[in-house]
Chains A and B, each alone.
Chain A
């Protein structure tokens, strides 16, 4: 019983991390049809920037802001200077993001060298929470709270704000949306910056759990993809569902079948693809 509860909580924590990672990717992909393969690199860069901030005396929250802001600016620049030149060519855009992922990843290796480093968690969240004979790290519970809060905020943004309506319109039918007067020249950079900022801040948030290390980008990117494929493109609810499913399967799988653990992450995706190619809640899969 103890095993199931603790692994369940671990699954919840990992799933929450995945959601924070995948939410930005899903937003960008859903609206702009750009699979931002640099998303993992952004995640990693945010974590490194946060690490440097903490090294220089900032507290965790400032570090998270710094990580998010840096990547937000980088993402905005990438969208404005590079992706916009290839509007209407989704494949070329994807390839360009791949090249940029290489550049960012190597840049991180250059600036921060190759040693893996744990990101120190905020002192108020150290330690465990004890309840009914169970003990679970406070920080992981915090990450779960952040993920659900983020989901709520994004839902509010998408469903109850004007910008959200524009985003949803763009996801449904970009050409019609533009014909109705929605300015993609403003909307796209906005969404791209938001998605990138989420990745950057998410990297800092994940730092205490995953540590920050080179190649983190190529570790995280496939996970983001699996979540989005599983949950369905263009659906944030799908991203949440997908993240949690993967989180649970990974936690239990890792404990029960350690040899097959990594592979188990992808099995739900394979299953969904054979039975329901559009994902659990998605629209058409490109």
Chain B
């Protein structure tokens, strides 16, 4: 068994017994938050790391699904399951539309368009107060009791988040390793060659965009049920930027990088912020340092360092993440 598999097994076991090991509700809730952020970061990673499409508007899917689920379930009287399903489907449809618009360009153009599209939704949520509650947001969502389990209990909710996270991670791993996922990585590395080979690059990118939006929506539904409240903040540029930070810091193009990145940002936000008031500055500084000195991200970077530490004289592996995207787009 390789070191990687052992680490993964230990991680999985740790997650399973987490609530009982920690005991404090606060940290169990924190773990739930990390899992939700990790799902969102993983979905963004499909675009950034595996598709080479850096998006600064991914929070749009989180926020839209959350708003829809709260509006439908708490304000329009629809039951929890249908509300969640409709929210996810509607947000995925939004991703189809946005993908259409955003993929009119690639690279920096794509970045700017996704940013602007995210801002449109933010503006809508912020200004259309009669529908969305404006800056006051929408609340009143009650966590349901499926099969008699009260999801209001932090441990129960954690396991729900863990189940969804496991499904998401497994699905995305399958996606990435599938022929379609390989073709997506092909369009990231060599779009012209892919076109020459007859692949429809636009369609591959668009379908991946929609798939990423789908998982963003799933994260949004969980987010809504976790906080039981939604405000325009979830749609703000800051949230999209933080998610991108999670992906890049953890390691774009790897499956576990975004998870580490999500943990980093959430812990900084919730735990470190109690000790260091200027945690945003710290986050920005960490990000700058990572992009400057460890551009492939924390997970590949640490893996690389540990490899060179354990096996001197071997060449370090080719850098992943933005470094690789850079080479191809140059």
Interface residues of A (CB under 8 A from B): 29, 33, 35, 82, 85-86, 88-92, 94-96, 98-103, 105-107, 109-110, 218, 221-222, 225-226, 228-229, 258-263, 265-266, 269-270, 273-274, 277, 285-286
Contact = CB atoms under 8 A, between A and B. Distances in A.
B115 A225 contact: yes
A55 B258 CA distance: 45
B238 interface: yes
B288 A96 contact: yes
A266 B108 contact: no
B280 A106 contact: yes
B321 to A, nearest CB: 10
Given A91-B107, A91-B326, A266-B119, A98 B129 contact: no
Given A229-B113, A261-B127, A273-B113, A286 B107 contact: yes
A254 to B, nearest CB: 9
A95 B291 contact: yes
A82 B128 contact: no
B129 A222 contact: no
A273 B103 CA distance: 10
Contact of B104 (A90, A218, A221, A274): A274
A91 B122 CA distance: 25
A228 B112 contact: yes
A139 B88 CA distance: 49
A105 to B, nearest CB: 7
A88 B280 contact: no
B89 interface: no
Contact of A266 (B110, B120, B245): B120
Contact of A262 (B112, B124, B236, B284): B124
Contact of B120 (A89, A106, A263): A263
B281 A260 contact: no
A110 B326 contact: no
B124 A222 contact: no
Interface size class of chain B, counting residues whose CB lies under 8 Å from the partner chain: 35 or more
B171 interface: no
Interface string B25-60: 000000000000000000000000000001000000
Contacts, number: 147
A81 to B, nearest CB: 10
Contacts of A222: 115-116, 119, 237
A259 B287 contact: no
Given A91-B322, A262-B123, A263-B123, A270 B287 contact: no
B80 interface: no
Contact of A226 (B106, B116, B288): B116
A107 B277 CA distance: 11
B110 to A, nearest CB: 8
A102 B240 CA distance: 13
B320 interface: no
A98 B112 CA distance: 13
A218 B237 contact: yes
Interface in B307-330: 322-323, 325-326, 329-330
B295 interface: yes
A258 B134 CA distance: 12
A285 to B, nearest CB: 4
A89 B322 contact: yes
A258 B130 CA distance: 12
14 contacts: A35-B112, A91-B329, A95-B287, A103-B284, A218-B236, A229-B116, A259-B128, A261-B127, A262-B123, A263-B124, A265-B123, A266-B117, A270-B101, A270-B117
A198 B109 CA distance: 23
Interface in B107-148: 107-113, 115-117, 119-120, 122-124, 126-130
A263 B129 CA distance: 13
B130 to A, nearest CB: 7
B167 interface: no
Contact of A260 (B111, B116, B128, B285): B128
A221 B330 CA distance: 26
B248 interface: yes
A90 B108 contact: yes
B108 A33 contact: yes
Contacts of A286: 105-110
Nearest to A96: B291
B123 to A, nearest CB: 3
A114 to B, nearest CB: 12
B241 interface: yes
A146 B318 CA distance: 51
Nearest to A107: B281
Interface in B205-254: 236-238, 241, 244-245, 248
Given A99-B287, A229-B109, 4 more contacts: A90-B329, A91-B325, A92-B323, A262-B120
A154 B5 CA distance: 59
